Amino acid sequence: MNTLSQILVLAISAIFIQNFVLSRFLGLCPYLGVSTKMDSAFGMGMAVIFVMTMASAFCSLIYKYLLVPYNLTYLSTLAFILTIAALVQFVEMFILKNAPSLYKALGVYLPLITTNCAVLGVAILNITPLPDGSTYNFLFATLNGFFSGVGFTFVLLVMAAIRERLALVDLPKSMHGFAHGMILAGTMALAFSGFVGLKI
Amino acid sequence: MNLSLLLPILAPSLASDIGVPVLIIGAMGLAFGLLLAFASKVFAVNRDPRVEEIISVLPGANCGGCGKAGCAGYAEAIVLQGAPVNLCTPGGPKVAQEIAKIMGTEAEAVVKKIAVIHCSTGGKDNTKWKYDYRGIETCLSAVNIAGGPNSCSWGCVGFNDCLNACKFDAISVDESGMRIIDIEKCTGCAACVKACPRKLIDLISIQQNVFIKCSSKDKGPLARQVCGTNQPCIGCGICVKKCPQQAITMANNLASIDYSKCTDCGVCAAVCPTNAILDTLRGTRKKSEIDAELCDGCHICVPVCAVGAIKGEENQKHNIDQDKCIGCGVCITVCPKNAIKTKE
């Protein structure tokens, strides 16, 4: 396979087959919390794509040039948390100064994502050996982060759209809010499990 | 086993097993810490303390009635851009005075804002329908089904979400199903602005009389086809060209008026080919006339008249066609001889 088709496979796998929310069950907190309105879901999604891509790139570098040479791979979780937290803080300060309009769109969501398990998850998954024993290189790790973020945003938007439409449904009071969201999430996960059969 | 024998073997491995990770992770932490400390200095954004003070005074409803993105946006606009202190409708004069105190200026009276619906359709007789909607009777639900039951995907669907949201009985429905806003009862709370799923309602100062009664971003021919009253904004841009204050801008085939520039002259409503602009003072403005003794025929007033009411050859006396004049008063402001006056 050439690089382009490998990237396509990576994209389909990260967005549909190995979707972060619905098949890896990571990032469930924002998935249920920020999915009541399309606008905020979109903002959150964009912030997640941004942070996941950056975190994948930086953690991949840290892993390759700092952890592997000194046999410290068992400390990767610790090192990644440190890297992601510092990175998000730095990026927040940077865009507050240099791109105030971008900060207005993403600013509220950035601190929420600092400790999001999906972001740490993508960094850890990038260094986890694939079935054939290889790991992602820098380019593929970054792309994996990006496409995983896209997959997260995709299901977050679908969820928000469903919840917006179902806001008017006559439900028993006990089923409102979280209970209703859980049933929706389960149904969506069931639908997404169909993608597992996709052979690429 | 004698421990002292093991010590020389253990000690170097202990040092490397514990020391190296501690050193590396510690160094990482230190590096990130220094980076952030450095960044907080380099990227420091100097925030005026008055912004925080004003935010604490504002009601915090984030209604957007002031035209800014929430209370924080308004507070920033006051301090940095010198926005007027009296734009907060929910806060009223009290908040305006407190902000004025913080800013060290005098508070002007809060100009009351009222809701204006930017659509001329939505009634039984003046709406074109795509299909017969028989679901839950709310606009929010109706607009979700195949882009809404009305042909225009930007216009009013007429299920009165705004009316139901209004706590002050300021919105009523007439016999043809059109919503009427009672200027007296409207408090400018913006509940209807939020309730309208098509975002057709906007708060506009009660002193303004010219409104764009359309929100369609469709291209001209389509907008004409789907509009029930045949008064859509077709994005022709004539109003933009004719506005003497350059207060109108055109974006996505839709004109919008910047009310900070608008002088309520009514020129845009007079020139709009589809009558999409409503002028509540139309026909009641005092018309202009030229004092024949003072006029020296300089011809300056002729091109500025948006409706072409001024006639006359250069260096000859001019006169104003009273049937065409809309009383906008633009000619009065340009006449170098002060020869044009408002007719009593």
Q: What is the pLDDT of residues B47-72, one digit of tens each?
A: 677 888 888 888 877 666 676 767 77
Interface contact B141-A72, CB threshold 8 A = no
Q: How far is CA A23 from the centre of its chain?
A: 12
Higher pLDDT, A198 or A155: A155
Judge contact between B111 and B127, C-beta under 8 A. Answer: no
- Which residue from B21, B36, B45 is facing A89, i.e. has the nearest CB? B36
Nearest to A81 by CA among A106, A58, A100: A58
Q: What are phi and psi of B170, to 5 degrees?
A: -85, -15
The tens digit of pLDDT for each residue in B70-116 reads 777 788 888 887 777 777 777 777 888 888 888 876 656 667 788 89
Among all chains, which residue has been given the structure tokens 């001019």?
Answer: B318
Q: Which residues of B131-154 are buried (b: 16+ CB within 10 A; e: fewer)?
A: eebeeeebbbbbbbeeebbbbbbb
**pLDDT tens track for B160-200:** 999 888 888 889 898 888 999 988 888 887 888 888 999 99
Q: Cβ of A171 under 8 Å from any chain B Cβ?
A: no
Contact flag B69-A72 (C-beta cutoff 8 Å) = no
At which residue do the structure tokens 């018309």 appear? B287
Coil, strand or helix at B83: coil
**How big is chain A by its Cα radius of gyration, in Å?**
18
Chain B residues touching residue A168 (CB < 8 angstroms): 136, 138, 140-141
- Give the contacts of A175 (CB within 8 A, at least 6 positions apart): A183
Query: Which residue, among B183, B331, B12, B110, has the nearest Cα to B320 in the 3D structure?
Result: B331
Pick the CATH number of B284-344 from 3.30.70.370, 3.40.640.10, 2.30.40.10, 3.30.70.20: 3.30.70.20
**Over the stretch A89-132, which tens digit does the pLDDT of each residue have?**
888 888 877 777 777 766 667 777 777 888 899 999 988 888 87
The 3-state DSSP class for residue B205 equals strand
| Helix/strand/coil for B256 | strand
- Measured between beta carbons, which residues in chain B are less than 8 angstroms from residue A165? 144
Where in chain B is CATH 1.10.15.40? 49-103
Would you give the distance in Å from CA A173 to the centre of its chain?
32
Which chain B residues are within 8 Å of A164, Cβ to Cβ? 144
Answer whether residue A155 shows pLDDT above 90: yes
Residues of chain B with CATH 3.30.70.20: 114-206, 284-344
Q: How far off is chain A from B4, nearest CA to CA, in Å?
A: 28
**A72/B24 touch (CB, cutoff 8 Å), yes or no:** yes
Encode burial over A68-95: b for 16+ CB neighbours within 10 A, e otherwise: eeeebeebbeebbbbbbbbbbbbbbbeb
Contact B144 A165 (CB under 8 A): yes
CB contact (8 A) between residue A98 and residue B43: yes
CB pairs under 8 A between A and B: 52
Residue B109 pLDDT: 61
In the numeric block, which tokens belong to residue B23? 């050193």
**CA–CA dist A146, A124 (Å, integer):** 14
Q: At what angle do helices B92-103 and B49-57 cross, to 10 degrees?
A: 160
CA distance linking residue B104 with residue B99, whole number of Å: 8
Domain segments of chain A: what residues?
A: 20-197
Measured between beta carbons, the chain B residues lying within 8 angstroms of A96 are 43, 45
CA distance A70 to B284: 86
Considering the segment(s) B114-206 as one domain, its CATH architecture is: 2-Layer Sandwich (3.30)
The minimal CB distance from A79 to the residues B25, B140, B144 is found for: B25
pLDDT surpasses 60 at B8:
no
pLDDT of residue B108: 61
CA A79 to chain centre: 19
- Residue A65's Cβ-count burial label (10 Å; 0-12, 13-18, 19+) is exposed
* DSSP type of residue B17: I
Tokens representing B242?
Answer: 């004719």
Q: What is the mean pLDDT of residues A82-94?
A: 86
CATH number listed for the domain at residues B49-103: 1.10.15.40
A54: nearest Cα among A157, A149, A124, A128: A149
Considering only alpha carbons, which residue of chain B is nearest residue A66? B24
Q: What is the pLDDT of residue A152?
A: 93
Q: What's at B192, amino acid-wise?
A: C
Which of A62, A98, A168 lies closest to B136 in CB terms? A168
Q: Tell me the C-alpha distance between B76 and B56, whole Å.
A: 12
b (16+ CB within 10 A) / e for A24-51: bebbbebbbebbeeeebbbbbbbbbbbb
Under a CB-based contact definition with an 8 Å cutoff, are residues B117 and B200 in contact? Answer: yes
Pair type for strands B277-279 and B210-212: antiparallel
